[in-house]
Structure 1
Amino acid sequence: MTDPDSEWRLWSGSTLIDTITVDEAGMPWQHGRFLPEPAFSQCKPWFDKVNAIVERRSSNGSTTPTIASKVP
């Protein structure tokens, strides 16, 4: 389990993309504050695509493997 106030960092090589500070920890979900770094702009289109797929999934009830097959 992750402790509240812990930080998760997303790196691409040696470039910091974002930091998430966990506010609430509990399995299977974690809730936190997202702080994008300047390099996040390079990844934002990918995150936008994933969010769009998740939104469609929420509305039609399809499964997570469907999401994974649509994201490069």
Structure 2
Amino acid sequence: MGFDGMVWQVRSGDESVGRITIDEADFPWLSGHFAPGPAYASVRDLFARELALLERVDEHVEEWEAAYGEIERRVTLSSPDGPVAEFLLHIEGDRAWFRWNETPFEE
């Protein structure tokens, strides 16, 4: 199944954080153009902090986990078929990349 052109939704409650139009697939990662929605401003800084910590995750793993935990609490990710159970999502500028699973990831 090809993913190119699929549109995934990022939401915060009932509000749109944005949509991701897939243009690259390197399983298990998908990436694409991110078009921000009205609620993006409320989580933009969370994604920026998470990426900054990810660059130094070996030194700051607990801080990264806490930052990403806040993202997980604030946003959901939906495929064209509906919400996914678990995901790891990064957003930077007009690009987003993520992996997902229909069931929660193992610890």
TM bin (shorter chain)? 0.7 to 0.9
Specify the code of the residue in structure 2 equivalent to 1:23.
D
Q: Match for residue 23 of structure 1? A: 23
In structure 2, list runs of 5 or more residues that go unmatched: 71-107
Instruction: Calculate the TM-score normalised by the size of structure 1.
Output: 0.75
Specify the code of the residue in structure 2 equivalent to 1:15.
E
**What percentage of aligned pairs have identical amino acids?**
30
Higher strand share: 2
State the 1:38 CA deviation. Answer: 2.5
| Higher RCO (CA < 8 A, seq sep 6+) | 2
Provide the aligned length of Structure 1 versus Structure 2.
66
State the 1:2 CA deviation. Answer: 5.9
RMSD: 2.1
Specify the code of the residue in structure 1 equivalent to 2:19.
T
Q: Which has the larger radius of gyration?
A: 1
TM alignment of 1:1-72, pairs within 5 A = 3-57=3-57, 62=58, 66=62, 67-68=64-65, 70-71=66-67, 72=70
Q: How big is each residue's C-alpha offset from its partner over 1:6-56, in whole Å with a ceiling of 9 and x where there is no partner? A: 011111111011101000123122120011112200111111110111122
Instruction: Calculate the TM-score normalised by the size of structure 2.
Output: 0.53
In structure 1, list runs of 5 or more residues that go unmatched: none
